[in-house]
Structure 1
Amino acid sequence: MHTIKKILVINSYHKGFQWSDDVLSGMEEVFYNHPEITINILYMDSKRVSSEEYYAKLRELYKLQLKNQKYDLIVAVDKFAYDFLIKYYHELFTNEPIVFTGLEQFVVEDVQKQGLDDRIYGILEKRSIPESIPMIAHMMPNLKKLYIINDASANGDDSEPFIQQAMSEHHNQFEIEYIRQSTLEELEERFSKPNKDEAVFFVRFYNDKYGNLYKNSQIASMINKSALPVFITDTLFIGKGALGGKLVPVKNVGIATGEMSIDVLDKKIPPLHVMTMVDYIYQFDVQKIKQFEVYPNAAVKDFELVNAPLTFFDKHRKFIDAVFLISPFLLFLILGLIHNIYMRVRSEKELKAIELQKNKHQQFIIQQSKLAEIGEVFSSIAHQWKNPLVEIATITQEHFYNYEDVGDEQNNQYVHDIMVQVRYMTDTINDFQKFIMPSSTKTVFDVSEAIDTMLKIINHNIKYNYIDVSIDISHATNLMVSGYKNEFMQTLLNVVNNAKDQIKESRDAKHIQRGAIRIIIYNHAKNVIIEIHDNAGGIPIECIANVFDAYFTTKDHGHGIGLYMSKLIIEDKMGGKIQASNIDDGACFTITLGNAT
């Protein structure tokens, strides 16, 4: 049974203040997995009241509240709570360690003066101020003036040096107006007129020049009314009027704080261990991108879009799904699969007894694997068809409702656009039909062309799992082999799908940002060598020797026959060799086949 650990959280602000609420939500997410931890939260309400007299009264109140209370850890949420703790620590506590979070600056001399350097840990929240201004300039090449908004609070003072540094670096490129003393009403008026050459960089604005405190909803309203694009530094106002930017995910600050708190309780890190949060994300609002015609593509490679409108497919999802469920294509696919199984069984009965047993086993494994994969491949085709259907509907609607009087030339263009989409759909189903037909006899085929065909079939799954695929044949002189083309493609599909699944797990665990599959084809000693690399972290050492065994799998819902089937196809049916190994950042499957000539 775990010993109960008690954590006291002193929050600089009041309950309902979104920034600190998001931080606390992240911490609680971590503590949820540690039932031995109990937390108590005290709210200082420093946004509303921050005088020295108030803090003195608060000290007396906390003395009464914390009397005879013993905690294992104190967490200070943001600057006000941290400064309060450092000043009154020896009156309120004994030897409890402190974890601070959300500060933008940390001065070790301050804690050394108080004799607290043996019990301080923390998370610094560094807003991406110097990096954001070049991004804004890149997204708005004609930018002539940038307004930077930062309030007159103590937090604003901590951001000040970073803002001044950024201003000094870019003052020759465009005009910069720095605003710290204003009101929301004045800001609304100032940014009420559109200008394509101006933008706003919003750092914070909770307190106005008179000391009034604004709610998040009031700030969001001001941002949303702005006739200029508003760039931000954290996730609080994304989807609420801001265009976006390089953002601090506030909840992640809380998660990092919770994880550090666990490490402090377990004595895994030394005192004065201070970590700066640089886990930024790029997010942009689709509606604001359209409104201001400011696009992130040129400035940022990987970004997320929020607040996207419903597409035609989203609006009519049930109808389209129903059409696919009852479509003749689905019936034809089922009949084709049944026919293939029947033909295989009838063909196998004509073989000799010893060959019959072996081939039945091999064909069963192959067909079972294809049936296991068919759902995923069919899903890919269905998704690839849905986009053209949406395009056809949109093109047709736009033509008939908005352009009734256009000439023959434009009519022809609409017909051409529609036919391009229809041809795409036809090519997709033709490729799929060829893929599911079994190979009855050996043929000579080009491995590069087979790989291209296989990748074309699963292109949708690869694309929407954020995986880059590259094929290198620069060192190959002869790509022709003799064997069963469709079964060879099935082998490649098994290997690539395994790589895709592992890459998805690595991305979900944030081990990698984007997946990569490299296929390298070359010749060696009259053989064709195909190497398939991924960057998903590799195969556990203890599993490499068994990956080709029947029914062996490391997946929660895996069937364990895909790679076993691949080995049967390559080694028993095509006389080649397939091996698995680990490389620097992932796994490598190597297939060796003899040249056809």
Structure 2
Amino acid sequence: MKKITVLFLLFLSFTYLYGKEVLFLNSYHKGYKWSDDIIQEVEKKLKPLKDVELTVFYMDTKRIMTPSYIEKLASLYEEQLKNRKFDLVIASDNSAFEFVLEQKNRLFKNTPILFCGINNFDKTLIEKSIFKDEISGIEEQVDLEKNFELILDLQPELKNLLIINDKSKTGLAMKKDLESIIKKYSKRLNIEYIDNMDIDHLKNKISNLKKDTAILLVLLFKDGTGKYFTYKNGVQQIRAVSHVPIYGLWDFYLDYGVLGGLVTSAIAQGEAVGDMAIRVLNGTPIKEIPIVEKSPNKYLFDYNEIKRFDLDVDGIGRDYEIINEPYSFIKAHTKIAVIALTIIAILLIMIFSMRANIRRRIVVEKALQNRIKFDKVLVDTLPNPIYYKNKDGKFLGCNRAFSELLNISKSEVIGKTAKDFFSLEIALKNQQIDQELLKTLGTNSSEMTLHTPDNHMKHIIINKAVYLNNDGSIGGIVCVMDDITERMQQKQFLIQQSKLAEMGDMVAAIAHQWNEPLVELSAQVQDIQTSFLLNELKGAQVKEFVNDSMVQLKYMSKTLSDFRNFLKPSTKKTLFSIRKAFEEIFEILGKQIYYSNINLKFNYDYKSDELLIYGYENEFKQVLLNLINNAKNKIIEKNSIEKYNLIINILYCENFTTIEIIDDGGNIDENIVDKIFEPYFTTKKDGTGFGLYMAKVIIEDKMGGIITAQNRDKYVVFTIKMPHRKE
């Protein structure tokens, strides 16, 4: 058991140290360009796989191919490989592939096989083999007919074609394929096939060829005498004596005198079989990798030979590549040229971009300067005083209206603070507002009363907002001042004018109030006079008369005092009682309402302390008086003996104190109910249209409440909502 464990650990360590092994079995010898190119491409493909080791064996069958030699190779490989196990075997060209098939059980049992460079591949040979699930690869197909077509496309006046081949195994296979092609083109060309001539006679024959002839070189590794040539040496000897183009079928002949053709590419074979090898080594079963039956051939030409015979390869209508084309400096140093051109292009783009940017900046700067001048004129033209300061509270500038308001120049404003221009109370209040704005980045609107250097009092609304710099940081605060002195005076005038409009009704009310005490005073005077004439006047009667008269006179005096207080405007907001406000109104209007056959109901829904409102008391009473008078007059206009109702509800809600003035004297036309609060809108023949408009101004603008009107069944309801004062 211990021995098995040790062996298993040794096996794991061996696998870890050596990874995977691949054997490349080459049919030929090192230095043969075809197989060298295949090996080079396979090495490139496998190089990124760092755990793969590639071993190459050369069979040298171009030089020797006897059965005894093949047997000796098998014995040699058996000795070499007896302690090695390969993960993959790649067989290059026919000799190596046939050797692998014959010796698989002996040398490569259970080892996947990939082949490449196989001429005249017989697929049935693998399909009938017991190793068919262990073999795949790439065929090497020479497309003879397309090469014949190419030759005739390049030389349409061609009359003779000399085909040169040898009697190697590949050469004999090619001869078999050529037979049908030669027969097909024999009517168009005089075709001569040579494969057994010695090199000297062959050179002599080639040197005497006419110009209407071309050569198709198939293979030339041996001449008729058995003399061996390297692939370079053979073609170079032919090229030295030939005065006609030499076409070839293999890419390794290019660069040594062959013009080109649709050649079988060793590089393409190597790339394709390398990709297959990676798939096998990554775990793909070889039976799932299909055999590539279409050889990856391509059209290749030698620039020197094309120019030598002045042939136009552009006219063949096929994709092709050219070797040995003379390169300019740019072509010879493509990478450097591309980098240099890219840098130049980038620099040019940068220069043009910078130039365009400079032009844009000049245009933008001019536009900005013009805009700054325009904004400066615009700001100076505005009647509203404007100033702006930094976040530390120092003034950065102002417009003309602000400097005129303070009677100083604009330059004197810069660097100063609010304490230099306003009273300490106003300056501290504004400082507190500014600090809050800088935190919230919002806006603020507040009121202040300003005493100007020329001893005028101004009522001003200050609107402030924070401005930001381009980088998003806080720049400071902009302040726009709105002088509302004239508007306040005008509103106060309108309020007083509205009061005057109510005076007719109030005088009538006072007349009603004075009627009863005057009657009583008259009766008392007459009674005193009668007692005096009858000598019945006593001191007690005089005293009683005086006391009763004073009661009536005080009542009448109070009526006049209430009237005077109603006319006097409120100068500041105060807390006042709603109940008391209504009581003072009913002191004036109460009897008139009673004698107008109106049923007055007063509902006060507040059981705690007295319900107070914060605002302008007299103006608020003016609103109530206006609404009650409107309801009363509407009922009187009906001239009906029917008794109507005037209901007043006072409700304390969570956020509002709600006052409802309700009458059943007739609904408001739905077409005008939304317009009754507009200035100058009236349905009365002699009306001014100020009453309800001023009611809305007083309640909403001056006291921050809400006033609305609506029809509710047969009733008209005016609702006033006053917010609770929060302290």
Q: TM-score, normalised by structure 1?
A: 0.53
- Inter-partner Cα distance in structure 1 for 2:147 and 2:208: 24
1:349-400 CA deviation, whole Å, 9 max, x = no partner? 24469x99xxxxxxxxxxxxxxxxxxxxxxxxxxxxxxxxxxxxxxxxxxxx
Tell me which of 280, 285, 297 is aligned to 2:314.
Answer: 297
Indicate the residue corresponding to 1:55 in structure 2.
70
Task: Go from structure 1 to structure 2 and tell me whether the alpha carbon gap of 1:295 and 1:13 turns closer, same or farther (over 3 Å shift).
Answer: same
- Inter-partner Cα distance in structure 1 for 2:331 and 2:261: 27
Task: Go from structure 1 to structure 2 and tell me whether the alpha carbon gap of 1:3 and 1:335 turns closer, same or farther (over 3 Å shift).
Answer: closer
- Inter-partner Cα distance in structure 1 for 2:101 and 2:350: 72
The alignment status of 1:306 with 2:323, answered yes or no, reads: yes
1:419-468 CA deviation, whole Å, 9 max, x = no partner? xxxxxxxxxxxxxxxxxxxxxxxxxxxxxxxxxxxxxxxxxxxxxxxxxx
- Inter-partner Cα distance in structure 1 for 2:295 and 2:239: 27
- Inter-partner Cα distance in structure 2 for 1:272 and 1:333: 51
Shift of 1:201: 1.0
* Identity, % of aligned positions: 29
- Inter-partner Cα distance in structure 2 for 1:129 and 1:143: 17
Indicate the residue corresponding to 2:44 in structure 1.
29
SS of the residue corresponding to residue 120 of structure 2 reads coil
Indicate the residue corresponding to 2:267 in structure 1.
251
Shift of 1:90: 1.5
Shift of 1:233: 1.6
- Inter-partner Cα distance in structure 2 for 1:348 and 1:101: 70
Query: Alignment RMSD, CA only?
Result: 3.5
- Inter-partner Cα distance in structure 2 for 1:331 and 1:68: 64
1:491-515 CA deviation, whole Å, 9 max, x = no partner? xxxxxxxxxxxxxxxxxxxxxxxxx
Task: Go from structure 1 to structure 2 and tell me whether the alpha carbon gap of 1:118 and 1:101 turns closer, same or farther (over 3 Å shift).
Answer: same
Shift of 1:343: 1.5
Q: How does 1:206-355 map to 2 (within 5 A)?
A: 206-225=221-240, 226-265=242-281, 266-270=283-287, 273-309=290-326, 339-351=355-367
Contact 1:130–1:165 (8 Å) recurs in 2: no
Query: Which stretch shifts more, 343-352 or 74-83?
Result: 343-352
Tell me which of 14, 20, 31 is aligned to 2:29.
Answer: 14
Return the index of the structure with the highest Cα Rg. 2
SS of the residue corresponding to residue 96 of structure 2 reads helix
SS of the residue corresponding to residue 273 of structure 1 reads coil
Q: How does 1:114-125 map to 2 (within 5 A)?
A: 114-125=129-140
- Inter-partner Cα distance in structure 1 for 2:43 and 2:71: 30
- Inter-partner Cα distance in structure 2 for 1:234 and 1:42: 23
Shift of 1:114: 4.8
Contact 1:8–1:40 (8 Å) recurs in 2: yes
Larger relative contact order (CA 8 Å, sep ≥ 6): 1
Shift of 1:113: 5.4
- Inter-partner Cα distance in structure 1 for 2:353 and 2:106: 78
Shift of 1:56: 1.2
The alignment status of 1:102 with 2:112, answered yes or no, reads: no
Task: Go from structure 1 to structure 2 and tell me whether the alpha carbon gap of 1:114 and 1:269 turns closer, same or farther (over 3 Å shift).
Answer: closer
Shift of 1:9: 1.4
Contact 2:299–2:321 (8 Å) recurs in 1: yes
- Inter-partner Cα distance in structure 2 for 1:64 and 1:315: 50
Shift of 1:63: 1.2
Tell me which of 150, 153, 156 is aligned to 1:135.
Answer: 150
Contact 2:220–2:235 (8 Å) recurs in 1: no
Indicate the residue corresponding to 2:586 in structure 1.
none
- Inter-partner Cα distance in structure 1 for 2:329 and 2:276: 46
Q: How does 1:130-529 map to 2 (within 5 A)?
A: 130-193=145-208, 195-225=210-240, 226-265=242-281, 266-270=283-287, 273-309=290-326, 339-351=355-367
Task: Go from structure 1 to structure 2 and tell me whether the alpha carbon gap of 1:314 and 1:104 turns closer, same or farther (over 3 Å shift).
Answer: closer
The alignment status of 1:79 with 2:80, answered yes or no, reads: no
1:402-434 CA deviation, whole Å, 9 max, x = no partner? xxxxxxxxxxxxxxxxxxxxxxxxxxxxxxxxx
Which consecutive residues of structure 2, in runs of 5 or more, have no partner in the other structure?
A: 1-15, 373-727
- Inter-partner Cα distance in structure 2 for 1:276 and 1:217: 29
Contact 1:24–1:254 (8 Å) recurs in 2: yes
SS of the residue corresponding to residue 162 of structure 2 reads strand
Task: Go from structure 1 to structure 2 and tell me whether the alpha carbon gap of 1:105 and 1:335 turns closer, same or farther (over 3 Å shift).
Answer: closer
Contact 1:124–1:275 (8 Å) recurs in 2: yes
- Inter-partner Cα distance in structure 2 for 1:331 and 1:120: 57
Shift of 1:312: 9.7
- Inter-partner Cα distance in structure 2 for 1:193 and 1:151: 21
Paired AA for residue 268 in structure 2: N
- Inter-partner Cα distance in structure 2 for 1:303 and 1:18: 21
Contact 2:254–2:260 (8 Å) recurs in 1: yes
The alignment status of 1:4 with 2:19, answered yes or no, reads: yes
Shift of 1:146: 0.7
1:290-341 CA deviation, whole Å, 9 max, x = no partner? 2222222222343233323466998999xx99xx9xx9xx999998765433
Task: Go from structure 1 to structure 2 and tell me whether the alpha carbon gap of 1:292 and 1:93 turns closer, same or farther (over 3 Å shift).
Answer: same
SS of the residue corresponding to residue 187 of structure 2 reads coil
- Inter-partner Cα distance in structure 2 for 1:338 and 1:115: 74
- Inter-partner Cα distance in structure 1 for 2:331 and 2:127: 59
- Inter-partner Cα distance in structure 2 for 1:237 and 1:79: 19
Contact 1:167–1:176 (8 Å) recurs in 2: yes
- Inter-partner Cα distance in structure 2 for 1:153 and 1:331: 61
The alignment status of 1:39 with 2:46, answered yes or no, reads: no
Paired AA for residue 322 in structure 2: L
Paired AA for residue 307 in structure 1: N
Paired AA for residue 252 in structure 2: L
- Inter-partner Cα distance in structure 2 for 1:53 and 1:279: 35
- Inter-partner Cα distance in structure 2 for 1:105 and 1:123: 12
Shift of 1:277: 4.5
Contact 1:11–1:41 (8 Å) recurs in 2: yes
Paired AA for residue 72 in structure 1: D
Shift of 1:75: 1.1
- Inter-partner Cα distance in structure 2 for 1:316 and 1:267: 42
1:267-288 CA deviation, whole Å, 9 max, x = no partner? 2552683213443322222222
